């Protein structure tokens, strides 16, 4: 008998960034963070897990068709083993259940967008892995409980287990048992909110987020100051979301992106995730907001040069027009990316 489950999970883009670990093994963050999960089909990971007693021993994983080694005690391994432990506990209680926890696994995952190019592929990838394996194992755990596992695969992945507006609470416990994701509001709460993804580059980033955040924690003085302001920003953005106050939402989102990149610059040696195009996008949005008298759009950048612009549906045509006017898509970009035009109205 073959047991199989397929689940897809979307990317989430943080408005209050996670950057820094208190515990590098358990992935407990130095600060809480908040993101929006993109709900359309453009940026997703789809993962199939299969368990079969006839497979040769040992789990195997393919990412976009290429086999990846599952390193013992590595992050993917930890996620698989934790979920197996939960399944084993179920099987011990109910002897009639098939012993899926004893079967070797074959896992195949696909991203429909460039991997590791600052488009949060690890978030959707690990969330899809945890969701599909927990579906295969019929685990009763809630998304918040599953987020404890996804977090250990890739921090930001814990937020992709929910749709809409999602907070990852850093938690107080030293074992990470309360460092989990929680939905602040469902996507239906503020359907006017949309995201425009501007692919500045689809190249793999030079400094991984793991290496980058560790270097920032160890060397940046500015980083310690950022930790002081994040709690009030979390409170303020949550109330902005609840009240659908776009102006406050936009100001906080842009401020936090800028503080995060300032901390990267304050790292020794400095980390440059944004490039000249990224900075020009910032100037363009600042100009648009100034001309409008109040923010109509908010930029945010993760560990890469690509921009995500949050705006309301009524402003989206203006924003797209401005972006296309100043950043005409490269001729061959559509071919190179295969699936995405340069400017993609992702929405959510």
Residues making contact with ligand PMV (CB under 6 A): 14, 17-19, 33, 120, 122-123, 154-156, 209-210, 302-303
**Smallest gap from residue 50 Cβ to ligand PMV (A):** 26
Peptide bond into 320 cis (omega under 30): no
State which residue, 143 or 155, has the beta carbon closest to ligand PMV. Answer: 155
State which residue, 308 or 322, has the beta carbon closest to ligand PMV. Answer: 308
State which residue, 101 or 124, has the beta carbon closest to ligand PMV. Answer: 124
Distance separating alpha carbons of residues 194 and 308, to the nearest angstrom: 10
State which residue, 134 or 156, has the beta carbon closest to ligand PMV. Answer: 156
Distance separating alpha carbons of residues 31 and 171, to the nearest angstrom: 9
**Smallest gap from residue 159 Cβ to ligand PMV (A):** 7
**Smallest gap from residue 180 Cβ to ligand PMV (A):** 15
**Smallest gap from residue 49 Cβ to ligand PMV (A):** 21
State which residue, 18 or 86, has the beta carbon closest to ligand PMV. Answer: 18
State which residue, 35 or 134, has the beta carbon closest to ligand PMV. Answer: 35
**Smallest gap from residue 55 Cβ to ligand PMV (A):** 30
Pairing of strands 44-51, 3-10: antiparallel
**Smallest gap from residue 19 Cβ to ligand PMV (A):** 6
State which residue, 21 or 60, has the beta carbon closest to ligand PMV. Answer: 21
Three-state SS across the chain?
CCEEEEEEEECEEEEECCCCEEECCCCEECCCEEEEECCCCCCEEEEEEEECCCCCCCCEEEECCEEECCCCCCHHHHHHHHHHHHHHHHHHHCCCCCCHHHCCEEEEEEECCCCCCCCCHHHHHHHHHHHHHHHHCCCCCCHHHHHHHHHHHCHHHHHHHCCEEEEECCCCCCCCCCCCEEEEECHHHCCCEEEEEECCCCCCCCCCHHHHHHHHHHHCHHHHHHHHHHHHHHHHHHHHHHCCCHHHHHHHHHHHHHHHHHHHHCCCCCCCCCCHHHHHHHHHHHHHHHHHCCCCEEEEECCCCCEEEEEECCCHHHHHHHHHHHCCCCCCHHHHHCCCCCEEECCC
**Smallest gap from residue 241 Cβ to ligand PMV (A):** 16
**Smallest gap from residue 224 Cβ to ligand PMV (A):** 18
**Smallest gap from residue 141 Cβ to ligand PMV (A):** 21
State which residue, 123 or 197, has the beta carbon closest to ligand PMV. Answer: 123
Distance separating alpha carbons of residues 130 and 136, to the nearest angstrom: 10
State which residue, 20 or 295, has the beta carbon closest to ligand PMV. Answer: 20
């Amino acid at each position: 008998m073959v047991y199989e489950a397929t689940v897809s999970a979307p990317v989430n883009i943080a408005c209050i960034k996670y950057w820094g670990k208190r515990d590098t093994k358990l992935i407990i963050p130095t600060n809480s963070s908040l993101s929006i999960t993109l709900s359309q089909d453009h940026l997703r990971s789809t993962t199939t897990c299969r368990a079969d007693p006839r497979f040769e021993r040992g789990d195997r994983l393919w990412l976009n068709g290429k086999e990846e080694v599952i390193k013992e005690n590595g992050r993917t391994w930890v996620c698989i083993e934790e979920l197996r432990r939960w399944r084993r506990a179920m099987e011990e209680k109910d002897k009639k259940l098939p012993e899926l926890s004893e079967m070797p696994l074959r896992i195949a995952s696909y991203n429909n967008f460039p991997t590791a190019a600052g488009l949060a592929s690890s978030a959707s990838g690990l969330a899809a892995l945890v969701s599909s394996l927990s579906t295969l194992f019929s685990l009763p755990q809630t998304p918040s409980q599953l987020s404890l596992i996804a977090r250990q695969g890739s921090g930001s992945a814990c937020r992709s287990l929910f749709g809409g507006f999602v907070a990852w609470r850093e938690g107080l416990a030293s074992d990470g048992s309360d460092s989990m994701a929680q939905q602040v509001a469902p996507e239906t709460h503020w359907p006017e909110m949309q995201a425009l993804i501007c692919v500045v580059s689809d190249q793999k980033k030079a400094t991984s987020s793991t290496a980058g955040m560790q270097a920032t924690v160890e060397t940046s003085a500015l980083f310690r100051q950022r930790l002081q302001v994040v709690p009030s920003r979390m409170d303020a953005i949550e109330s902005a979301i609840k009240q659908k106050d776009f102006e406050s939402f936009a100001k906080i989102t842009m401020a936090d992106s800028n503080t995060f990149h300032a901390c990267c610059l304050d790292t020794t040696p400095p980390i440059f995730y944004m490039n000249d195009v990224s900075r020009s996008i910032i100037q363009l949005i600042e100009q648009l907001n100034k001309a409008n008298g109040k923010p109509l759009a908010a930029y945010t950048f993760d560990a890469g040069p690509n921009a995500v612009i949050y705006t309301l549906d009524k402003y989206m045509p203006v924003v797209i027009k401005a972006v296309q006017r100043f950043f005409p898509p490269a001729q061959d970009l559509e071919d190179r990316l295969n699936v995405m035009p340069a400017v993609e109205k992702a929405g959510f």
